[in-house]
Amino acid sequence: VYREVAGDLALYFDPAKHEELRHQLIQVYEGRIDLTERSKASVRYASSHFRKGSYTDGLISIYYKCMRA
């Protein structure tokens, strides 16, 4: 998962450093990270940032700018 896609809602760790994964799992196990709430927030984030209409609008805007240049 890229930060550009998931923002701060994903759990990030370096796959080469197993201690980072362990740390994230402990955070979840101990309740410091609420996966249910994080999942709901991810759905809200995706629906507000990655709608087909907003993507299309942005793409059309870029095309118009290029045509005017």
CA dist 35 → 12, 38, 39 (Å): 13, 5, 6
pLDDT confidence of residue 47: 81
- pLDDT band, residue 28 (cuts 50/70/90): very high
Task: Identify whether the C-beta of residue 45 lies closer than 8 Å to the C-beta of residue 9.
Answer: yes
pLDDT at position 69, please? 76
- Distance in angstroms (rounded) separating the CA atoms of residues 69 and 62: 11
Q: What is the pLDDT of residues 40-62, one digit of tens each?
A: 999 888 888 777 777 788 889 99
Q: What is the DSSP letter of 69?
A: -
